Amino acid sequence: MGNLRTKDLSKIGYHNDQLRSLVIGLAAKNFKHHSKQELLDLLVNIKHDPKAFLDNELTQKIAGKIIGKTKTVSFQTYELREEPVLCKTYGGKHIEASAKRQMELANLLPVSVQGALMPDAHMGYGLPIGGVLATDNAVIPYAVGMDIGCRMALSIVDENDGFLKRYAYQIKQALKSFTHFGMEGGLEIRQEHEVLESSLFNELSFLKPLRGKAVRQLGSSGGGNHFVEFGEIEMLPENSLGLPARKYVALLSHSGSRGLGSAIAKHYTQIAMNSCKLPRHAQQLAWLDMNSEAGQEYWMSMTLAGDYAKACHERIHLNLLKALGLKAMMVVDNHHNFAWKDRLANSKEVILHRKGATPAHRDELGIIPGSMTTPAYLVSGKGAEQSLYSASHGAGRAMSRQKAKDNMTVSAMKKMLGTAGVTLIGGTVEENPLAYKDIETVIRAQHDLVNIQGKFFPRIVRMNKE
């Protein structure tokens, strides 16, 4: 079968993005022995008389989608493997046992192909934070996580580090005016971005009511460990970005897809749990078959949430730099809560889930932050297959939020910030520097995964104040 493309489907009257994705997914699996023309002729016939194709196992999903009639999703029960799939752990000495157990459970899924655990790993829901999992034609909503598309973005500006001291007041005012933190609300000035015009908001009924909130929250950052900060970045000699080795001003942000991603995660996790029955202790790792309608819908919705998260960072950076009369000379950004189609060295195509892990294919750029008083590292990947082309997404938590609260006072944190030369706007003791692992130890543990290109030092940090 020749490659079936969306434009081929448009020519024969298949204009709905959701329907086209479903057709392409099913065609690749169920119609391999049809020529492209035979398949297009069949699709024309299904479109003209969909009811006639409802009883055929191969065509019923397409026909049902066309007439809006879908069969009730039945569930299937699965057992776990007796032995886990191959999983390489980095920096295991500093990873809590509960996170290792979570990863081992994920490696027992019948759809799992390979796993990896990053040195910043700690316990999460479903897959541990810092967990990477390759699966066979299956996507696990909880292995992507609640904050779909959570990501880092770094803008490097052609100013020296003296700029931060001279314009500290203006930077603080800009951060207060052009960022918004917290679970609700957004920026006072309405933000525009093409992602809001996505046809998916109309095509998927459950997304329709979420668009209004997405409009309000565009360009905002949420809570928890999300931040927007100005600092200085020291580029190393012969760095892969081709920048002269010196210090520059940089803007670094960390946040995700806000209420939109959370709603998508909840919706499809429930569908997965209803249709894929696993032993109770593994139920959060329920998956969606990539050839199913729900699998295709989740993939499109996840992609939309990722695009929305990227749009939020674009608005944050554009607004702040414009307010300060600055322009980015270079931007580095990528998701660390997402799923991708990828290939392993044996050419096997897999669905690669990263839940709190930075993509690190060969020469791929990424950012690994420490804490509000410790450096973030600008890195390039080495393309290590054992790590599933991944690296850590930060230092990783050493304390739960409650423990961090119990072990740090506001005055002690202020003293730490002062010693490090950092100004904090907002923030809580839950995110104090001691709540995180030592970033230098975490970076050393992934020497085989990344090359260091630069080192970013936070100077003026904006976070949520609970």
Q: Looking at the annotation, which residues are catalytic? A: 393
Q: Is residue 337 part of an annotated ligand binding site? A: yes
Q: How far is CA 189 from CA 70, 170, 228, in A?
A: 42, 19, 18
CA dihedral (365, 334, 138, 82) positive or negative: positive
Tell whether 335 is in a known binding site: no
394 labeled part of a ligand binding site: yes
Q: Binding site annotation covers 146?
A: no
Tell me if 104 sits within 8 A of 84, measured CB to CB: yes
DSSP secondary structure string for all residues of 81-141:
-SSPPPEEESSGGGS-HHHHHHHHHHTTSTTEEEEEEEEEEE--SSSPEEEEEEESSEE-H
Give dist(CA 307, CA 159) in Å, integer.
Answer: 29
For residue 282, give the DSSP letter: G
Query: Which residue is associated with the tokens 């393309």?
Result: 383
Query: Is 226 within any annotated ligand binding site?
Result: yes
Element (H, E) at 228: strand 227-235
Distance CA 450, CA 384 (A): 9
What is the rounded CA–CA span in Å between residue 71 and residue 53?
13
Answer yes or no: is 393 a known binding residue: yes
* 53's tokens: 């194709």
**422 marked among binding-site residues:** no
Instruction: Provide the β-strand partners of residue 379.
Output: 366, 452
161 is in an annotated binding site: no
Q: What is the DSSP annotation of 300-322?
A: HHHHHHHHHHHHHHHHHHHHHHH
Whether residue 147 is annotated as binding a ligand: the answer is yes
Q: Is 369 marked as a binding-site residue?
A: yes
Of 272, 231, 229, nearest in space to 73 by CA: 272
- Check the annotation: does 295 bind a ligand: no
Annotated binding residue at 289? Answer: no
Residue 168 makes CB contacts below 8 A (sequence gap 6+) with 423, 460
Q: Is 130 exposed, middle or buried (0-12, 13-18, 19+ CB in 10 A)?
A: buried
Is 1 annotated as a binding-site member?
Answer: no
Q: Is 225 annotated as a binding residue?
A: yes
371 is known to lie in a ligand binding site = yes
Q: What is the CA radius of gyration of the chain?
A: 23
Binding residue per annotation — 461? no
* Residue stretches of the annotated binding site for Mn(2+): 147, 226, 254, 336
* Residue stretches of the annotated binding site: 147, 225-229, 254, 336-337, 369-372, 393-396
